[in-house]
Amino acid sequence: MDKIYLDYAATTPVDSRVLEAMLPYFSDSFGNPSSVHRYGQRAEAAVEDARETVAAVLGCRPEEVIFTSCGSESDNLALRGAALAVRQQTGANWILTSRAEHPAVSKTAADLEKHYGFHVEWLEVDEFGRLLPEAVEKAICKETALVSVMYANNEIGTINPIREIAEVCHRHGVLFHTDAVQAAAYLPVNVDDLGVDLLSLGAHKFYGPKGVGALYVRKGTPLLPVLTGGGQEGGRRAGTSNVPYLVGLGEALRLTAAEREARAAHVRPLRDHLIGAVLESIPEARLTGHPAERLPNHASFVFRGADGNALLQLLDAAGFACSSGSACKTGNPEPSEVMTALGLPREWGLGSLRVTLGAQTTAQEVEQFLQALPSLVEKARRR
Give me the active site residues, please. Answer: 328
Burial of 261 (0-12, 13-18, 19+ CB in 10 A): exposed
Closest by alpha carbon to 212, among 251, 156, 160, 154? 251
What is the three-class DSSP state of 159? strand
CA distance 358 to 360: 5
* Angle subtended at Cα 266 by Cα 254 and Cα 23, rounded to the nearest 5 degrees: 35
- Residues 186, 191, 194, 195, Cα dihedral to 10°: 170
- Beta-bridged to residue 176, according to DSSP, are 147
Residues across the chain = 383
Q: Could you tell me if 215 and 181 are in contact, meaning their C-beta atoms sit under 8 angstroms apart? A: no
CA distance 234 to 78: 15
Q: What letter would DSSP give residue 24?
A: G
Q: What letter would DSSP give residue 240?
A: -
